[in-house]
Amino acid sequence: MAQISIKNVSKIYKGGVKAVDDVNLGIENKEFMVLVGPSGCGKSTTLRMVAGLEEISEGSIWIGDRLVNDVPAKDRDIAMVFQNYALYPHMTVYENMSFGLKLRKYPKAEIEKRVNEAAEILGIKKMLARRPKQLSGGERQRVALGRAIVRKPMVFLFDEPLSNLDAKLRVQMRTEIHKLRLRLQTTFIYVTHDQTEALTLGDRICVMKDGKVQQCADPMTIYDKPANKFVSSFIGSPPISFMNGRIIKKERKYFFDEGKFKVKLVEEMYKSIAPYEGKDIVFGIRAEDVYDKLFVSESSPDNTVRAACEVVEPLGSEVYLYLNSGKHTFTARVGAHNRPGVNRDMDVVFDMSKVHFFDPKTEERIS
Ligand code: ADP
């Protein structure tokens, strides 16, 4: 069993930088947890504290039922994979993969068995005699993974393992990591700044900013019910569009008044939006919730918005439209068949059951 508990953990570096600020996080046995957030938000530091590579300033970390604050990295039964692979250049692939086991004085036959097994899983059996410089970036990363796998650790820690690979290879390795995870059945903590990696790999995603956890939930909850404006903007591509406006009430109905247009809220929102009547609010809409009216069978003036189409970006399977209401810009993601003229006004329809509202001061989502 390797559940991990991070309890009230902070990290203050020499010089006073508070890199991690009172983080509480529980990772279950066999769970794949992704820590995601912009550069500098404290994800690596959190991971390194779990690994034992960084001292914990405050709080406690438990692996299984063992408090590990003062347990050296080598005794924590974890294996870590880094962005830069950290392979020994003078050793062959086989030697790189077996090195850790050799240090731990495993019998030769056991080492051979484990290295061969891992090489099989990762499809690098033919490369065991090569040195790292005779390998491509993707192959090197496989060796780094292999070196972690042979240890059969209780916990795998990944620190941006794919960020040195080109885009195509990254997608391929992402699938490999997914398969690996199903096969290994162990606990993973995976650090990335890439929201797509987070959404596709995580059982749960922990979104961080400024050393603090913003939200920790399964990918769909993070996407559909972001805790705040930051989470909604960090997760999702193209990014969600925000517009400032006001909530108004007319004939018992609530509207969002953007200045140039008004749209009616769905009734489910009335109760939670009522305190904002007459007040400023932040409106958020994702690109896939904006439709070209020409392709919508049912719409009403209550959710139709007139906007100028400033840029049309065809992406093969879909098209991004960059629209301007006269006050705010926003994005629509529409089907590939859909190519409105540039610099012309068009009517778009908002799916009002999908939009988000945020408090302008706290930036929390109003749900
Ligand atoms: P992330 O992995 O999210 O990019 P890090 O955990 O690496 O973020 O860093 C969090 C913050 O701590 C950053 O402001 C970074 O500059 C600072 N930091 C990281 N390592 C050190 C260190 N060894 N000494 C001082 N500050 C550090």
Q: What CA–CA distance (Å, rounded) separates 116 from 112?
A: 6
Q: Is the pLDDT of residue 293 over 90?
A: yes
Helices (H) and strands (E) in the chain, counts: 9, 21
What is the residue with the minimal CA distance to atom 17 of ligand 1?
A: 19
- For ligand 1, what atom is nearest to the CA of residue 41? 3
DSSP-derived secondary structure for 106-156: --HHHHHHHHHHHHHHHT-GGGTTS-GGGS-HHHHHHHHHHHHHTT--SEE
For ligand 1, say whether the CB of 185 is within 6 Å of any of its atoms. Answer: no
Over residues 143-160, the pLDDT tens digits come to 999 999 999 999 999 999
Most confident of 76-90, 116-130, 154-168, 226-240: 226-240
pLDDT-derived band at 337 (thresholds 50, 70, 90) equals confident
Contact 333, 319 (CB under 8 A): yes
Kindly report whether the peptide bond that precedes residue 153 is cis, defined as omega within 30 degrees of 0.
Answer: no
Would you state the pLDDT for residue 329? 98
Contacts of 12 (CB under 8 A, 6+ apart): 18, 19, 57, 58
Q: Is the CB of 97 under 6 A from ligand 1?
A: no
Q: Is 226 a residue whose pLDDT tops 80?
A: yes
Ligand 1 centroid from CA 215, angstroms: 20
Nearest to 56 by CA among 42, 64, 46, 43: 46
73-87, 97-111, 129-143, range with the lowest pLDDT: 73-87
pLDDT of 299 > 80? The answer is yes
- Mean pLDDT in residue range 120-139: 92
Q: Output the pLDDT for position 82.
A: 86
Please state the pTM of the whole predicted model: 0.94
- Ligand 1, residue 11: give the atom nearest the CA: 12
C-alpha Rg value of the chain to the nearest Å: 25
Q: What is the DSSP letter of 72?
A: -
Report the largest interatomic distance among the alpha carbons of the chain, rounded to a whole angstrom: 81
What confidence tier does 164 reach under pLDDT thresholds 50, 70, 90? confident
pLDDT of 86: 83
pLDDT of the residue at 163 = 87
Residue pLDDT, tens place only, 36-64? 999 999 999 999 999 999 999 999 999 99
How many Å separate Cα 288 from the centre of its chain?
Answer: 19
pLDDT over threshold 80, residue 141: yes
Whether the per-residue pLDDT at 166 is higher than 90: the answer is no
Question: What is the pLDDT, as a whole number, of residue 176?
Answer: 87
* Alpha carbon separation from 273 to 230, 238, 266, 365 (Å, rounded): 20, 27, 10, 11
Distance 157 CA to ligand 1 centre (A): 17
Angle at 344 between CA 338 and CA 345, to 5 degrees: 90
How would residue 29 be classed by pLDDT, with cut points 50, 70 and 90? Answer: very high
Mean pLDDT of the 288-304 span = 93
Sign of the CA dihedral running 289, 294, 296, 298 = positive
- Please report the atom of ligand 1 found closest to the CA of residue 211: 10
Q: What per-residue confidence (pLDDT) applies to 23? A: 98
Per the rule left: phi > 0, alpha: psi between -120 and 50, beta: everything else, 59 is left
Residue 364 confidence (pLDDT)? 98
Q: Do 228 and 65 form a contact (C-beta atoms < 8 A)? A: no
- Which tens digit of pLDDT belongs to each residue from 83-116? 877 899 999 999 999 999 999 999 999 999 999 9
- Give the pLDDT of residue 128: 96
DSSP readout, 235-288?
Answer: SSSSPPEEEEEEEEEETTEEEEE-SS-EEEPPGGGHHHHGGGBTSEEEEEE-GG
Task: Give the pLDDT confidence of 170-196 residue by residue, as tens digits.
Answer: 898 899 899 889 988 899 999 999 999
The answer to whether 66 and 77 are in contact (CB under 8 A) is: no
| Candidate from 9, 14, 17, 43 with most ligand 1 atoms within 8 A of CB, to mutate | 17
Lowest mean pLDDT among 168-177, 236-245, 349-358: 168-177
Q: How far apart are CA 65 and CA 29, in angstroms?
A: 12
Average pLDDT, the chain: 95
Q: Is 10's pLDDT higher than 90? A: yes
Residue recorded with tokens 């209550």:
302
* pLDDT-based confidence at residue 121 (cuts at 50, 70, 90): confident
Selection from 192, 66, 32, 49 nearest residue 58 by Cα: 49
The structure tokens listed for 175 are: 């699938």
**pLDDT of 361 strictly over 80:** yes
pLDDT given at position 167: 87
